[in-house]
Amino acid sequence: MTPLREAVFLPLALLTVAFLGGLDPGTDVPWTTPTLFSLVMAVLLLAAFVRSGTLAPDRLLHGERPVIANANGALVLAALFAGSAQLVTMLTPRSGLPLLIGGVVLFLLLVNTLVVSPDRVRLLRSLGVVIGSAFILKFIVLAALADPEGSRTKRVILALFDAATLGTIAQAPVHPAAGYIAFFMCILYLIAVAMLPGSHARGQALELRHKDIEVSTRRSV
Amino acid sequence: MREGLVRGTGLVLTIAYASAIVWIYARQPDTFAQVRGGLASTMGAYSIDEQSFADALALFRREQFDAARAAFARADPAARDARTQFYIAYSYYRQGWHRLYRDDQLFTEGLKTVDKAIALAPDRRLLVEDPELTMHTADELRAELEAGLKRDAADFNPLRVFDTRK
């Protein structure tokens, strides 16, 4: 990994996710700090990165590296943690049943990922799908249900839906800019995660293990 | 040598960026003007636009409260001046005060603004020496706004129509 990527690109990209991931435009408190749930999820994400070989902490922090390089590495890890926590905060619905269900599903998906121990490529694919799905749920589906604009018919249908679900689904309206910011933060986070220094040995071992499993499955079939 | 330079620059940039993020999350600015004003006030270089403040005060005294608030906002774009915020809160109080009822929306805005003024004042103590005003401290104004928002049996006292606006 080049020093430019480790010292400049990764920390700044991940800090940008941590910075704008908490932006909730149009509200009284526009900068939201991560919830406790997000912090737990960030720890799980980091564990998944290490187990899959997506992140090799010894390539960022090691006794044989110069002090300044270790400082850069420590900042990358801190920024990755902060960025992950804010990304989860950004993608989790704000209230009601969607908050509960979204939180439980995200948690189960991450625990499942940890148990399966995928390799780097599979983890990145899985992460892309999870982040994309959470984005679509919050910023497209739930935002459409909370949109105060539109025709009278649409508002009547939404009011009926809100009454039928006892107000447990409806969310506070989302600012038009929020979805665009979230979209670019998701992309930036995925790019940064893909550029983390990975563990070649761990990745190769997992790849071999997956090939062995595929071969033995074919034989048994 | 070049690697050391890149790593050093990255370290400085990252720490500066992280500090700015922590500062923004702590201060919760709404606009870039507030970010600029907040940074300037941190360095002790922030000042309000005195001409706009004088215009706002004249409008406030003529009871043109919406226009006064617009001028106060122009005078203190970063919302960092306790005295200006006090006048904005006072304008919400006067505009929301009616003989038979109090406007909850305006009083709520007033309460938020006076809280901001108190937070900005040194030692959270704000005294405005203006003979035109009946209340001179932010604490008095805050209590009056809070009382206006409270719902209790005293709201049904017919003698309340003889209350005077402060």
Q: Residue ranges of the domains in chain B?
A: 1-30, 32-162
Q: Which chain B residue's Cα is nearest to A13?
A: B14
Segment (H or E) for A202: helix A200-220
Please identify which residue in the block is written with the tokens 């989302």.
Answer: A174
- Verify whether the Cβ–Cβ distance B11 to A18 is below 8 Å: no
Q: Which chain A residue's Cα is nearest to B8?
A: A68
Residues of B in contact with A4 (CB under 8 A): 6, 10
- Please check whether residue A30 lies inside any domain of the structure: yes
- Verify whether the Cβ–Cβ distance A8 to B13 is below 8 Å: yes
Query: A85 vs chain B: nearest CA distance in angstroms?
Result: 15
- Please check whether residue A28 lies inside any domain of the structure: yes
Is residue B159 predicted with pLDDT exceeding 70?
Answer: yes
| SS3 call for A121 | helix
Per-residue pLDDT reduced to its tens digit, A166-189: 666 677 778 888 899 999 999 999
Report the residue from A3, A12, A22 with minimal CB separation from B14.
A12
Is residue B1 predicted with pLDDT exceeding 90?
Answer: no
What mean pLDDT do residues B35-53 have?
A: 81
Residues of B in contact with A18 (CB under 8 A): 21
- Verify whether the Cβ–Cβ distance B6 to A15 is below 8 Å: no
Segment (H or E) for A100: helix A96-116
- Please check whether residue A219 lies inside any domain of the structure: no
**What is the structure's pLDDT at A208?**
66
- Verify whether the Cβ–Cβ distance A72 to B11 is below 8 Å: yes
**What is the structure's pLDDT at B17?**
95
What mean pLDDT do residues B152-159 have?
A: 80
Per-residue pLDDT reduced to its tens digit, B123-141: 889 999 999 999 999 999 9
* Radius of gyration over every alpha carbon of chain B, rounded to an integer in angstroms: 21
Beta bridge mates, B102: B97
- Taking domain B32-162, whether its CATH number is 1.25.40 is answered by yes
Please identify which residue in the block is written with the tokens 């149009």.
Answer: A26
Residue type, A160: L
Tokens of A186: 């998701």
What share of chain B in percent tops pLDDT 70?
A: 99
Quote the domain boundaries for residue A133: 3-212
pTM greater than the 0.90 cutoff: no
Distance of alpha carbon A178 from alpha carbon A165, whole angstroms: 25
- Please check whether residue A218 lies inside any domain of the structure: no
Task: Mark the ranges of chain A whose per-residue pLDDT is less than 50.
Answer: none
- Please check whether residue A115 lies inside any domain of the structure: yes
Categorize the per-residue pLDDT at B19 as very low, low, confident or very high, splitting at 50, 70 and 90. very high
Beta bridge mates, B137: B127
Query: B26 vs chain A: nearest CA distance in angstroms?
Result: 9
Query: A80 vs chain B: nearest CA distance in angstroms?
Result: 12
Q: Which chain A residue's Cα is nearest to B28?
A: A31
Query: For chain A, how many structural domains are there in total?
Result: 1
Per-residue pLDDT reduced to its tens digit, B60-97: 999 999 999 999 999 998 888 999 999 999 999 999 99
- Verify whether the Cβ–Cβ distance A12 to B17 is below 8 Å: yes
